Amino acid sequence: MSHTEKVQALLAAIDVKRYGKTRNYVSGSVSELGPYVSRGVISTRIVWAYLLARGHSFEEMFGFVQQLAWRDFFQRVWMGLGDGINTDIRGDQQGVKHTAFPAAIAAGNAGIEGIDVGIQRLVSSGYMHNHQRMYTAFLSCNLAGAHWKLPAQWMYAHLLDGDWGSNALSWQWVAGTFSNKKYIANQENINRYTNTQQRGTYLDVEYEQLTEAPVPEVLKPTLDAQEVLPFDDCTSEALIAAVADKGLPIWDAISRSNDQSVVICNYYQLSAEFVASQSGSPILLLEPSVFAKYPIASHCVDFMLSLAMEIPNVQVFVGEFEELYSALRASGSVEIIYQEHPLNQYYQGTEIPRDWLAPEVEGEFSSFFSYWKKVEKSLRKEYKDVRGY
């Protein structure tokens, strides 16, 4: 099954009623569209339009659509903060003991079954349920005392739906630097949502005991960035080798010298539909500097390239945008087209606006709910206009 077919099948399988009731449980209903949304194959707007056409009431769609809005909100915040997203946003993280990463968490051996299983699945497949992500961040930051940045980079590196906006801001929310207080969960809560029945762990206590709990012995050994981030998977050499292994062609300035326009794709923009709508020759730009700052694991590289293979006539350029820009200019007058994203604000050319869930809702927002209030109003109006009631 192609990725295009998979997306259509996942859209058709969305159960908005069950999602709203069960999404917090690891066995609950989820859409599995996250990797395709994060890689730009499908937008939150397209998902909304699909649901709207299916005839659901707005109340039935409410929980699902609100989660779509969270994705856009995180992107909006990232657009506004830029590199500021990499520092504590609303105040220093409290209780930090180190800037490393607990070794037991990285290994999926922290002694909490509902979390360890999720970590092991993440590292092997690139998937982790959202609730398990929160639990992992809680263990790392609020119990083990790690600063959020390195653990967040580690999780992002392995997630097929890795989105630095969603990931970094979610970790900051858990750590209390993007929220009013730290997130805490005890064993009873974890058992409930992960379908486990573990007892007698260091989390099997009342919430009050966890707020000032000492670091459990199992979480004291730590690893540094060189030991937990997959740098070797996304160096220039590794990326070129992976491209060759997939049989994707490397961009050739000579063969493309007659192009009138090119459409830039990247890790966050891999939509064949977007490329086709712009009538330009597609180039997948893989910038080593971006991957050095935000490393990804080999299974994420593989997923990215498998998506690129479904973009007709795509060629790959491994290098910096400035290098590609100079080569394109040297070959003649070429229009460069790309879609807006926080990581490509330095691109030069024609920027196409993102396909936001509610495009008319713009500006900076102090909280998700101030953003959601305007988005909900816009979507309800659209719903009424389409349905006539």
Quickly list DSSP for 283-323: EEEE-HHHHHHS---HHHHHHHHHHHTTSTT-EEEES-HHH
pLDDT average, residue stretch 39-51 = 97
How many angstroms separate the CA atoms of 358 and 177, rounded? 27
How many angstroms separate the CA atoms of 47 and 10, rounded? 10
The whole-number pLDDT of residue 175 equals: 98
* Residue 315 pLDDT greater than 90, yes or no: yes
pLDDT average, residue stretch 254-273 = 86
How many angstroms separate the CA atoms of 308 and 299, rounded? 14
Percent of all residues in the chain with a pLDDT value above 90, rounded to a whole number: 90
Contact 184, 210 (CB under 8 A): yes
How many angstroms separate the CA atoms of 236 and 359, rounded? 36
* Residue 363 pLDDT greater than 90, yes or no: no
How many angstroms separate the CA atoms of 210 and 203, rounded? 8
Per-residue pLDDT reduced to its tens digit, 213-228: 999 999 999 999 999 9
Contact 46, 40 (CB under 8 A): no
Report residue 343's pLDDT band, with 50, 70 and 90 as the boundaries: very high
Domains parsed from the chain with CATH numbers: 3-84+358-387 (1.25.40.80), 91-225 (1.10.579.10), 232-352 (3.40.50)
CA-to-CA dists, residue 294 to 106, 167, 308, angstroms: 17, 12, 20
pLDDT average, residue stretch 221-247 = 95
Contact 352, 339 (CB under 8 A): yes
* Residue 65 pLDDT greater than 80, yes or no: yes
Q: Which two tokens stand for residue 284?
A: 């997948």
How many angstroms separate the CA atoms of 164 and 338, rounded? 19
The whole-number pLDDT of residue 330 equals: 83
Per-residue pLDDT reduced to its tens digit, 174-209: 999 999 899 999 999 999 999 999 999 999 999 999
The whole-number pLDDT of residue 231 equals: 87
Query: What pTM value is reported for the model?
Result: 0.96
